[in-house]
A = this chain, B = another copy of it.
């Protein structure tokens, strides 16, 4: 089961608590520590697959390898870590994030994307996003291929690289999600190895997190 957090303007309760960070331990706060609301829809590029490939090719010709940065954000529910995912058009699940602008740093780009998709306004409601370590990287050797967690042999010019970053939540935050997206908290035990529903990158996240001890904080 996954738990829908935000869809068309529903909102949850908030509680607060403070606690120091531990090195290499991930503190996870209950879902109920956060406030969830919605904002105006953001436009999707509504295009055919062939138009999309054309757009990717012309972007590659102009700027080379494209980097996509995505956030791994956890909350606690029923004493088990849950991953925050965005759902678009009731189908595709996505980690919050997106493509970097040419020349933009990973951290700056990820903060910009998180603010666009999860915060009310451009300064992120005054609460900065804490972008932590890179957990993994996936490479697309071509525009239409599946991604691989390594650069395949003989691939000299990969077309896209997706980098996953751990983003640690503070004890309290407002999430404000565009009306045309749903924010979901999905338990790691449902995501693990579930390629079919979540795709290769998301279904591998529980493994990438497995080295961390979790410190689940009661509210």
Q: Which of A80, A133, A137, A210 has the most CB of B within 10 A?
A: A210
B79 touches A136 (CB 8 A): no
Provide the bound-state CA to CA distance between A87 and B135, in Å.
29
Of the A-B pairs whose beta carbons lie under 8 Å apart in the complex, a sample of 12, sorted by A's number, is A78-B153, A80-B153, A136-B207, A149-B192, A149-B206, A149-B207, A150-B206, A150-B210, A153-B189, A193-B200, A204-B207, A207-B208
Closest CB in chain B relative to A139 CB, distance in Å: 9
Contact of A211 among B135, B192, B210 (CB under 8 A): B135
Contact of A153 among B79, B193, B210 (CB under 8 A): B79
A residues neighboring B (CB under 8 Å): 78-81, 133-138, 148-150, 152-153, 187-189, 192-193, 200, 204, 206-211
A149 touches B210 (CB 8 A): yes
Closest CB in chain B relative to A161 CB, distance in Å: 10
A210 touches B137 (CB 8 A): yes
Provide the bound-state CA to CA distance between A149 and B188, in Å.
9
Chain A interface main SS type: mixed
B78 touches A138 (CB 8 A): no
What 7 additional pairs, Cβ within 8 angstroms, besides A150-B189, A207-B207, A207-B208? A134-B211, A137-B210, A148-B192, A149-B192, A149-B209, A150-B192, A150-B210
Instruction: For A162, give the chain B residue with the smallest CB separation.
Output: B210
A136 touches B78 (CB 8 A): no
Provide the bound-state CA to CA distance between A137 and B149, in Å.
18
Provide the bound-state CA to CA distance between A5 and B88, in Å.
49
Provide the bound-state CA to CA distance between A114 and B207, in Å.
24
B150 touches A209 (CB 8 A): yes
Provide the bound-state CA to CA distance between A193 and B200, in Å.
9
Instruction: For A148, give the chain B residue with the smallest CB separation.
Output: B192
Provide the bound-state CA to CA distance between A218 and B163, in Å.
27
Residues in B with CB closer than 8 Å to A135 are: 211
Closest CB in chain B relative to A157 CB, distance in Å: 15
Instruction: For A146, give the chain B residue with the smallest CB separation.
Output: B193
A150 touches B188 (CB 8 A): yes
